Amino acid sequence: MGKRNAKATIEAFQVVVAGTELINAYSELNDPIDQEERWKEDERRSKEGVTEHQVVDHDYIRALEYGMPPTVGWGMGIERFIAILSNVHSIKEVIMFPTLRPSKVK
């Protein structure tokens, strides 16, 4: 890959309860030059046959150039949280969509 800003870092952490990831948290890369280089590299790799790749999002790059503030995000698996509270060992026991639960055979 190309030369990148050594100061560009992304922080991340996970909250793990009873051996199960409950929360995945992270900061977003908000350096427009670094982000554009990463996307361009991904597009180059697509020409080499990589089927899953990102394309440059020029609107997002422009937002970064205007000075988009640092951003963070986190995802919490509500089914995992409910499974821990319910003391069940399988997330399938608390999943919202019953069609994904294993059917009981009589």
Write out the DSSP string of the chain: -----TT----EEEEEETTEEEEEEEEPP--HHHHHHHHHHHHHHHHTT-SS-----HHHHHHHHTTPPP-EEEEE-HHHHHHHHHT-S-GGGT-S-GGGSPPPP-
> What is the model's pTM?
0.54
Q: What is the mean pLDDT of the chain?
A: 81
The reported pLDDT for the residue numbered 8 is: 55
Has residue 36 got a pLDDT over 90?
yes
The reported pLDDT for the residue numbered 106 is: 58
Domain boundaries, the chain: 12-100
Q: Give mean pLDDT, residues 8-25.
A: 82
Confidence of residue 98 (pLDDT cuts 50, 70, 90): low
Confidence of residue 46 (pLDDT cuts 50, 70, 90): confident
Has residue 37 got a pLDDT over 90?
yes
Has residue 9 got a pLDDT over 90?
no
